Amino acid sequence: MGAIDDATIMNALRRQMTLQAARQVVAAGNLANVNTPGFKAKEVTTFGDALDEQLAASTKLVTTTANQIEGTSPVDPSVTETRDLSMRRDGNNVQMDRELLTMTRASADFAAAQTALAAKFRLVRYALTETR
């Protein structure tokens, strides 16, 4: 098993921050349309989310091998309609509590990734400025 290098860590943190920012934008859009008749709530999904959903729905044993190609990202967020939410009479299915919770979680996850990235940069800055 190979060691995890700095570039891999920074790329993972970048992907995490991008994903959480996208989740906040989509939740804000849902909240903005909470009173729009016929509006369907949307959510950010990733390939991993879709795979987990399919595996949970399947009773078969599935073995997958992931070979990441350099320069590609396994976290490609896409926006899809949220399923299994109850509709109101006007055809809107946005749930304010759910969207606020999504925004709060995304904010916390973004802040955690941002803190880790800042710590990584502090280490790099220290290494560059340390004189012996």
50-87 pLDDT tens trace = 666 667 776 444 443 333 333 444 556 889 999 889 99
**pLDDT tens sequence across 108-123:** 999 999 999 999 989 8
How is residue 27 written in tokens?
């939740």
- Note whether residue 35 is domain-resident: yes
- The DSSP secondary structure of 74-126, one letter per residue, reads S---EEEEPPS----TTS----HHHHHHHHHHHHHHHHHHHHHHHHHHHHHHH
pTM: 0.73
Does a structural domain hold residue 130? no
Domain housing 97 = 6-83+93-125
Task: Report if residue 75 sits inside a domain.
Answer: yes
Q: What total of structural domains would you count in the chain?
A: 1
Q: Is residue 56 part of a domain?
A: yes
Residue 44 maps to a domain: yes
